Structure 1
Amino acid sequence: MSAAPDGVRIIPLEEKYIESYHRCLDAVARERKFIAFVEAPPLDAIREYVLANLAAGALHFVAVDGEEVVGWCDITRLKWEGFTHCGRLGMGVSKDYRRRGIGRKLMEAALRKAEEAGFERVELGVFISNAPAIKLYETLDFVVEGVLKKARKLDGAYDDVLLMARFIEAT
C-alpha cells in the first residue's frame, strides 16, 4: 500500500471494493471524454470481469478515500501467443480528485508490479484531447507509437486516439 496526497490510499483492488469501483468507473464514463465508453457496464458484468482478471493475474490498483474508490489503474496481460510479454493499461480518476498526483501514484504502483511480473511492454490508448493524461504518460516514459485518426465520433465530434507504450528493461 502506498499513500497518495490528501490521505488517499493506493491499494490492490479487492473484491469488497468492486461496487465502489463500479461507481467510480461509471462517473468517469458519464463525463463522455476520458474513456472509451459512456457508462459503466452493469455491476454484475464488472464483478465478473474484475474477478476473472484478478484470477488471471491482472494488476489492478485503486485509489481509496476512506472506503470509496476514487481512481483506478489496471494492466491486463495480452493473451495471444507472441504477445504475452505485453500489457494493456487502463485508468481513470474521479473528477474531484484530479490534478493531485493520484493518477501518477496509481500508475507507479501498477508499473512497479508489471516489472515484477515480467512485463516487457505496457501500452495504452488516450484521446488526443486529454492533454493532462498525455503529459503524465510522457513523464512516466511512455512514447508515442501512432495515432488513430478520427477513431471516436461522439456527439458529432471526432477525437483521435494516441497510441503510447513504455518498455520495461528485463532485470
Structure 2
Amino acid sequence: MNILYIHGLNGSLSPEKRAILEQYGEVYSPFIDYEVIPDSITKLSASYHNRKIDVIIGSSMVGFAGYYVSNVLQCPALLFNPALAERSVYQNVPNIQYKKSPFKQIVLGTRDDVVEPKGTLNFLADTLDTHPNHQIQVYNDLAHRIPVDIFIKEVAIFMEYISRQQ
C-alpha cells in the first residue's frame, strides 16, 4: 500500500508516526511550504498522480489539502482536525473533475484552538450532496496536536475499513 502523508503548516512527519504508518505500507511525505506555494493541491496531485497512492493521511492545513488531493486522486483519506472551513494561509482549490468524493475519515477535537471544529462540521454539512461518504469521530478532550495513542487508534480503524472495502 502506498500512503501519502501530508504534513501541516510548518510541520513534518515525526519518526514515531512514520514508523506506525510503515507497518501498513510505503510512506511518502513530501515537504510543502504552504506560505510560498499557493497551488499545493495541484502540485501534490500532479506529483503523485502516477505513483498509485492508495490512501492520504494528514492534519490541519494538510487536512484541507489532503481533502482535495484525495478527490483528485480518487483515494480515501484520514484527516485529523482538517482546516476545511478556513485557513491562516491562502491556498487555491483547483477545479476537480470528479463529482463524488471517495471515503474520508475525519477526526476532530473539541479543544482544538487552531482549527474550529464547528466550522469543519458546517463545511461537511454543506457538502453532503457531493461528498457524502464521511466517518466523523469527535474527541471531547482532543486539542490540535494528535497524541500518538489516538493516531495509532484512528489509523488502525481507517486501515481496517479500507481493507474491508477492497
TM-score above 0.5, yes or no: no
Q: TM-score, normalised by structure 2?
A: 0.32
Q: TM-score, normalised by structure 1?
A: 0.32
* Structure with the greater alpha carbon radius of gyration: 1
